[in-house]
Structure 1
């Protein structure tokens, strides 16, 4: 057996082979169709798509061949890639190059060989489409050679498509999400052959927020260089030859064939290494990588795998860990979220229609003067009773809606309904203020104040009877824009309250500059007030601070008489909570106002006299 020749463009040829990321990848139906067709058309038992790597020939597609690769020095195709046309060996026993080849003297006992080169558009031959038989052939003429070249051209087109039609990420020089989905689809077709043996892993190098902050501070070029450095560190920690994909801006993915214990050891090691500062341009980066892993089951599809991996990465980052296997309960949570958002969209459309059915309602929780017991107002709280989902908590659906445009529709419905009810009570002579909860998204909308003004006019409501409550998260969003909107709202005569004070972005500068009338002390400071000495120090301090800057103080979550009395003794102005009254429909509230005169001194008389 003679020495294997090496092409003059070997370095470039191997570089293209690596760029394609096709070695050691799952079967591809397009290639398999060609090899099956070639085997039938030419009547040979073996047909292969071979790729000539540095020290081996690897079979991307194979019919009639059990092994996946052979040493390059045994490869007939190592000679075929030197030719522009088909290389034909009618009988290997009579060819000096191959008569002693182990593939001739042993399995698969090659006698006949014909190989057509797979040559890229830039003249680099990566391998062949070849035919093999264990008996010699008398001829393989021009017509057959032309047909084999045509089939080889089909294979080459598929190779070029892997290179050109969106399979590579230009910035990272890695196969992209589309390529990963294709590879997962090919693995999925193998079914039980991969079940339990392969694990898909996604790595979030730094998180989207960190990347965006880097872009804003140092520009896209620097941020991309940072991702490349993080990529290189990750690749250096993976087993050699692992194909890494770019899934999204900061997320990479790969597939491993490790046991759970081996995988756990590897991912924990990667997590520790990636927690170390990454230096770039004299700047240390301390963003930690997070990883999600999913053991591939018997049946799966690529999009579901990616969704599971991404959600696991995000969950790990929220928990502050390094990595975790996918928890199917996350899928249930995501499905529940999808069901809620879908149902909520339909519910809002029906609620806002002129004659539509309404699953939404407002309940009103009384707010009393802690010194006199007089009911001074109510907070309007949204309730949703769905025919299939049942009672859906506002804590669940509002949080989801705030991530979508649905929150604007919810706020419009709540404002319209609450102001309609406020107008009715005003005409009945009840002197009650009505507080509404609005989100950061609402206060950021340019037309919000105009909508509020229009509703005040439509329902003929005294603006001083309406109070808007917003949480501290709205403060952190765009403080200056928020300040301007609040000035406009207060200019209408509507009162403004900072809700859940003390739990978010509390900042004395905000209190100084924002136009607000009321601070609502969060219930987390009130519920354990009698047993927590820290809360007993914080709450009176908050009351004094609010009074110093001329704010009314409302305490939420009053659930005992003792808490009520303590808050009243510290000078807290108003309070609400289950010990006073639970949220209730408007009719029940009117009944409560008229039938609880003994519980709160002056409540009945004050309400009737107002």
Structure 2
């Protein structure tokens, strides 16, 4: 019984999903549907006719004749019974039928009801085409056939309306919604058999940006149309072509395909690598090809598309532009997606997020000159999550703003708490590139400082060099406002990203942190020694104070100190620690550990 109930619930949810996918509920009246209800009313001599869609708790009328209301409660509505039967559902007298005595229709004086169910090709009942009368009557065989035929015409109109939303305007190809439906159909026709999904990304992001600047917005459309035309001409009846993204085409190789899928992939890829004419200019696509083999009745259509997308993303990063679907990569993507979904709760739930603090020391004296605040997340199910598993993804979303505010608010509260204990310690926090796109970022940071009652001089903001170099005017204006208020500005991970050093002359920054990749092998790499020494000299000439990140050995410590590097940070001096542990670490005994 429990299994039956669960199946009933699942089937009803699937039916409601099918109804919602058609986007018919609560839409404006349509003359194409109204013609059919008028015809039903005329042919069956009924004063009222409706196209009624069965929602979760209501019957909503997409079209109606002879009635002013647009919906009625689903409970006790005859349409709910009609969609459970393949035949015509007739009630000669609602007021005499125990199922409907007291129903809204019976109370309104309706006596007769006849409804023909509206079924999708997948077998989901959407609602009915029905006629009602205030007289007790029957419906003969001819009338039943008329109602059945008219219901078929209604479904044809629904499918036509749905098809309009299942093709792409640029290429005219079926879109991903049509692909989902085709995969479902194949799963019913070929249970247990496999299909191959191919994804072709014709244009890299970089080529798209450059091409649109030079050739205009029609650049990518011309490439995709050209690629689609080539594929369409070279696919047989056993493979289907779809346009599933601005620059992405998909091919579904069905079980009827009798050839070698790998040979097909390579032949299609070769077709797409040839130059395509874009407004008379030949352009060679930057092609990436991903493939995914899957069993039709074991994988949902959306999961099939997701695997194809994962494969083509891997292909874009590979040397040869090809990649098969990787379950391992998919698990990492799924985990990243789950973490992003859970991060909102982490921001709102006390105890999941915290800041640890890693000391920075003055290399000449060994004294602690400040700390860097480092975000830590203890997930309620996964436990501690490494920062590199979630911070890069979070910074690419709208969570970047509340994340930075959370970190700033927490760090400022810690600054105030330490000052109350007689500890004046500058705290550095990392700020994402996306924050600098916020026009009121500086204003909000200064307001957070004011509310916390903290000294602005005790706060340092770290930006990566790629962040501060990408939008000069806006960046400089915001950084200058914060520096004028007393906040220290630092350039983090210097040497790992941007290559044009001219921005160093314009930025109101005073700290330059050399990336740890140049420090890690400093003892053995003469090349790194030359680079780091040169960076320190250049930074001094430009007025920057230099911090070396990732110091793990005494020899490295001594080298960078001898070159004039002012501060250092790394495991040799101290690992990141909680605020309470740091307070103990700050004792004179600990400060003398590195001298």
Task: Please confirm whether the aligned pair reaches a TM-score higher than 0.5, indicating the same fold.
Answer: yes
Give the aligned partner of residue 552 of structure 2.
559
**1:201 pairs with 2:198:** yes
Please list, as runs of the form range in 1=range in 2, the aligned pairs for 1:281-360 lying within 5 A after superposition.
281-297=279-295, 298-350=297-349, 357-360=350-353
1:177 aligns with 2:170: no
Q: Out of 381, 399, 403, which is 1:406 matched to? A: 399
Gapped runs of 5+ residues in structure 1? 1-142, 351-356, 602-610
Cα distance in 1 for residues equivalent to 2:474 and 2:556: 37
Deviation of 1:339 (Å)? 2.3
Alignment pair present for 1:232 and 2:225? no
- Counterparts in 2 of 1:221 and 1:347: CA distance versus 1, 3 Å: closer
Which one of 495, 505, 521 corresponds to residue 502 of structure 1?
Answer: 495
Other structure's SS at 1:596 match: helix
Can you list the C-alpha shifts for 1:23-51, whole angstroms capped at 9, x where unaligned? xxxxxxxxxxxxxxxxxxxxxxxxxxxxx
For 1:505 and 1:261, the matched residues in 2 are separated by: 48
Comparing 382-391 with 323-332, greater Cα deviation is found at 323-332
Of the three residues 430, 436, 461, the one matched with 2:429 is: 436
Q: For residues 441 and 152 of structure 1, do their structure 2 counterparts lie closer, same or farther at Cα, with a shift above 3 Å needed? A: closer
Instruction: Give me the CA root mean square deviation.
Output: 2.8
Instruction: Quote how far apart the aligned CAs of 1:514 are.
Output: 1.6
SS at match of 1:422: helix
On the 8 A contact 1:274/1:288 being kept in 2, the answer is: no
* Equivalent residue number for residue 71 of structure 2: none
Alpha-carbon separation, structure 1, partners of 2:162 and 2:427: 63
Q: CA deviation at 1:233?
A: 3.2
Alpha-carbon distance between aligned partners in 2 of 1:188 and 1:232, rounded to the nearest angstrom: 28
Q: Deviations over 1:380-408 (max 9, x none)?
A: 11111223111011111111211222221
**Would the aligned equivalents of 1:267 and 1:323 in 2 still touch at CA under 8 Å?**
no
SS of residue matched to 1:571: coil
- Which residue of structure 1 aligns with residue 101 of structure 2? none
- What is the deviation of 1:260? 11
Counterparts of 1:260 and 1:409, CA distance in 2: 54
The equivalent residue for 1:462 is 455
Quick check: 1:292–1:312 contact (8 Å CA) kept in 2? yes
1:598 equivalent to 2:592? Answer yes
Name the counterpart of 1:188.
187
Residue 234 of structure 1 and its aligned partner are, at CA, apart by: 3.4
Check conservation: 1:543, 1:553, Cα contact below 8 A: yes
Shift of 1:481: 1.2
Q: How does 1:67-216 map to 2 (within 5 A)?
A: 150=149, 154=153, 157=156, 161=160, 164-193=163-192, 195-196=193-194, 198-208=195-205, 210-216=207-213
Q: How far does residue 522 in structure 1 lie from its aligned partner after superposition?
A: 0.4
Of 354, 361, 365, the residue aligned with 1:368 is: 361
Q: What is the distance in 1 between the residues matched to 2:237 and 2:278?
A: 25
SS at match of 2:586: helix
Q: Secondary structure at the match of 2:429?
A: strand
Among 240, 246, 264, the alignment partner of 1:243 is 240
Task: Give the secondary-structure state (helix, strand or coil) at the position aligned to 1:468.
Answer: strand
Whether contact under 8 Å (1:553, 1:572) holds in the other structure is yes
**Distance of aligned partners of 1:324 and 1:162 in 2 relative to their CA distance in 1, 3 Å threshold:** farther
Contact 1:376/1:431 (8 A) holds in 2:
no
User: Which structure's CA Rg is the greater one?
Assistant: 1
Asked if the contact 1:202–1:293 (Cα under 8 Å) also holds between the matched residues in 2, the reply is: yes
Question: Between Structure 1 and Structure 2, how many residues are aligned?
Answer: 451
Distance in 1 (CA, whole Å) between partners of 2:453 and 2:148 is 84
Q: Classify 1:280/1:559 alpha carbon distance in 2 versus 1 (closer, same or farther; 3 Å).
A: same
Unaligned runs of 5+ residues in structure 2 are: 1-141
Change (3 A) 1:212 1:148: farther
Q: 1:260 to 1:509 in 2, by over 3 A?
A: farther
Per the alignment, do residues 534 and 280 of structure 1 end up closer, same or farther by CA in structure 2, a change over 3 Å counting? same
Provide the rounded CA distance (Å) in 2 between the counterparts of 1:191 and 1:242.
15
Q: What is residue 99 of structure 2 aligned with on the other side? A: none
When normalised by structure 1's length, the TM-score is: 0.69
Spell out, residue by residue over 1:61-103, the C-alpha distance to the aligned partner (whole angstroms, 9 max, x if none): xxxxxxxxxxxxxxxxxxxxxxxxxxxxxxxxxxxxxxxxxxx
CA contact (8 A) 1:420 1:459 kept: yes
CA–CA separation in structure 2 for the residues paired with 1:154 and 1:330 = 47
Q: Which deviations, in whole Å up to 9, do the C-alpha atoms of 1:247-273 show, x marking residues without a partner?
A: 111111122248899222222343344
Alignment check: 8 A CA contact 1:364 1:583 kept: yes
Distance 1:597 1:395 in 2: 30
The Cα shift of 1:569 comes to 1.0
Does the Cα contact within 8 Å between 1:368 and 1:376 map onto a contact in 2?
yes
Tell me how far 1:428 sits from its aligned partner.
Answer: 3.2
The structural deviation recorded for 1:191 is 5.0
Task: Give the C-alpha shift of residue 155 in structure 1.
Answer: 10
* Contact 1:208/1:249 (<8 A) preserved: no
Q: Deviations 1:204-228 (Å, cap 9, x if unpaired)? A: 1214553354334332334422321
| Structure 2: distance between partners of 1:157 and 1:505 | 58
Q: Is the 8 A contact 1:200 1:293 kept in 2?
A: yes
Separation (CA, whole Å) in 1 of partners of 2:190 and 2:226:
36
**Which whole-Å CA distance do the structure 2 matches of 1:280 and 1:574 have between them?**
54
The residue number in structure 1 matching 2:250 is 253
Contact 1:271 1:322 in 2 (8 A): no
For 1:335 and 1:508, locate their aligned partners in 2 and report how far apart those are by CA, in whole Å.
38
Work out which of the residue numbers 344, 356, 378 in structure 1 matches 2:371: 378
Q: Which residue of 2 aligns with 1:532?
A: 525
Contact 2:167 2:173 (8 Å CA) reproduced: yes
Separation in 2, partners of 1:183, 1:482 = 49
1:483 matches 2:473? no
- Determine the structure 2 residue equivalent to 1:46: none
Check the 8 A contact 1:367/1:375 in 2, yes or no.
Answer: yes
What is the match of residue 394 of structure 1? Answer: 387
CA contact (8 A) 2:199 2:291 kept: yes
Higher mean C-alpha deviation, range 244-253 or range 573-582:
244-253
Alignment deviations for residues 260-319 of structure 1 (CA, whole Å, 9 cap, x no partner): 992222223433443444343453423322122222314222111111111211121122
Q: How far 1:550 moved relative to its partner?
A: 0.6
The CA distance in 2 between the partners of 1:568 and 1:261, in whole Å, is 67
Q: Could you say which residue in structure 2 is the equivalent of 1:353?
A: none
